[in-house]
């Protein structure tokens, strides 16, 4: 184990990147990471595709990531080259699960709209939801009951609904990278702001919930391993890192 390094894993939109509010704290966060490259391994973990993440990075000032986890945990890259996904992770996520059966059953639900083909993946079945999920949950559970326990769902901003295999989501790649890098669990920090971040925020790592987090994950603030920042976006992540003693 490398006891001298930290693995810092951050969501992008709303957690680091918040252009509508002037990206609060992002330049300072980038300076913080860049000054500690010898002891911080920095990863982005987003629902965005690699191409979308590259577009955000080009707009700056996101710090250069050592690793990129894309499309809700389905792909891992060590750089922005789309031809070089991590082969071990790629093999892992291609295991079988009832994706095709779920897709066929979900076609009967008119409140779901399948997302574009380029947003889909063997380990992810993604939809847009046209109204609040609270009123739709019973119908969704009824239709998917034959496959209960063989998939999980993640809802982001009450609009983006992903069906994932039991091993899917943003948390598994964090565990994978920590093992790969030899970084112990007590040196892992994750940061997020919305529903698809839950999978990496509630695993017992040190986790940061930025002040602008969505109500759908507000309950996580009660967990002993989750720090609720008083500042939004990157300013909140930087606040959390300092409060956790990451230096």
Tens-place pLDDT, residues 44-86: 999 999 999 998 887 767 899 999 999 999 999 998 888 889 9
- Token pair recorded at residue 205: 């790592």
**Which pLDDT score is estimated for 138?**
87
Q: What does the CA dihedral 215, 129, 47, 243 come to, rounded to 10 degrees?
A: 0
Higher per-residue confidence, 208 vs 136: 208
**Which pLDDT score is estimated for 132?**
65
pLDDT in tens, 29-45: 999 999 999 999 999 99
* Mean pLDDT in residue range 10-28: 95
Domains of the chain from N-terminus onward: 6-92+168-243 (3.40.50.1000), 99-164 (3.90.1070.10)
pLDDT in tens, 166-225: 999 999 999 999 999 999 999 999 999 999 999 999 999 999 999 999 999 999 999 999
Of the ranges 45-54, 116-125, 127-136, which one carries the lowest mean pLDDT score?
Answer: 127-136
Contact assessment for residue 239 and residue 230, using Cβ atoms and an 8 Å cutoff: yes
Contact assessment for residue 7 and residue 189, using Cβ atoms and an 8 Å cutoff: yes
What is the distance between the alpha carbons of residues 79 and 66, in angstroms, rounded to a whole number? 7
* Mean pLDDT in residue range 14-41: 96
Helices marked H in the chain:
26-34, 50-59, 87-93, 99-106, 137-144, 171-181, 198-201, 233-243
What is the distance between the alpha carbons of residues 211 and 230, in angstroms, rounded to a whole number? 5
């Amino acid at each position: 184990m490398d006891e001298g390094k930290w693995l810092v894993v951050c969501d992008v939109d709303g957690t680091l990147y918040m252009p509508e509010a002037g990206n609060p704290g992002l330049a300072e966060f980038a300076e913080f990471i860049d000054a500690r490259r010898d002891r911080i391994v920095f990863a982005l973990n987003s629902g965005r595709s690699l191409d979308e993440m590259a577009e955000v990075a080009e707009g700056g000032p996101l710090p250069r990531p050592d690793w990129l986890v894309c499309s809700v945990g389905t792909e891992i890259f060590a750089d922005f080259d789309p031809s070089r996904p991590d082969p071990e992770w790629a093999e892992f996520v291609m295991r079988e699960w009832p994706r095709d059966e779920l897709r066929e059953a979900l076609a009967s639900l008119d409140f779901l709209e399948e997302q574009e083909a380029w947003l889909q993946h063997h380990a992810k079945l993604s939809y847009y939801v046209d109204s609040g999920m609270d009123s739709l949950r019973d119908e969704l559970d009824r239709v998917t009951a034959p496959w209960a326990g063989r998939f999980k769902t993640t809802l982001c901003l009450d609009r983006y609904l992903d069906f994932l295999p039991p091993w899917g989501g943003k948390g598994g790649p964090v565990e994978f990278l920590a093992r790969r890098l030899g970084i112990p669990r007590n040196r892992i920090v994750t940061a997020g702001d919305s529903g698809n971040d839950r999978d990496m925020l509630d695993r017992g790592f040190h986790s940061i919930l930025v002040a602008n987090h969505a109500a759908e994950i507000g309950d996580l603030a009660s967990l002993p391993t989750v720090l609720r920042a008083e500042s939004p976006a990157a300013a909140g992540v930087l606040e959390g890192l300092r409060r956790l003693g990451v230096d």
